[in-house]
Amino acid sequence: IPEEFAVSSVKTEDGVCLLYLPPQTIQALPEDEYTQSLILWSLTESLYSLDYIREIRLLVDGEELEFFGNVPVSGVTERPQG
């Protein structure tokens, strides 16, 4: 995870985790899509290790992200089954 990576705040309500990221965090992501996906995987796996988290929403400036850099977030927004 890049040194510049930061989280503004985290809020959890009814099993949904809202992860607020500052715009600088997204701008500081490495250009390499594989590295972006590893960072996203690391974040979501850490949050899903908490039993009460069912869904994750990533937000920047109050807007939900569709992409984490170049990586679609749709595949990580709900807890994996199994």
Phi/psi region, residue 45 (left: phi>0; alpha: psi -120 to 50; beta: rest), is: alpha
**pLDDT band with cut points at 50, 70 and 90 for residue 31:** very high
Asked if 62 contacts 36 with a C-beta cutoff of 8 angstroms, the reply is: no
Compute the distance between CA of residue 2 and CA of residue 77 in angstroms, rounded to an integer. 22
Claim: this prediction has a pTM higher than 0.95: no
**pLDDT band with cut points at 50, 70 and 90 for residue 76:** confident
Q: Share the mean pLDDT of the chain.
A: 91
Please give the share of the chain, as a percent, with pLDDT higher than 90.
80
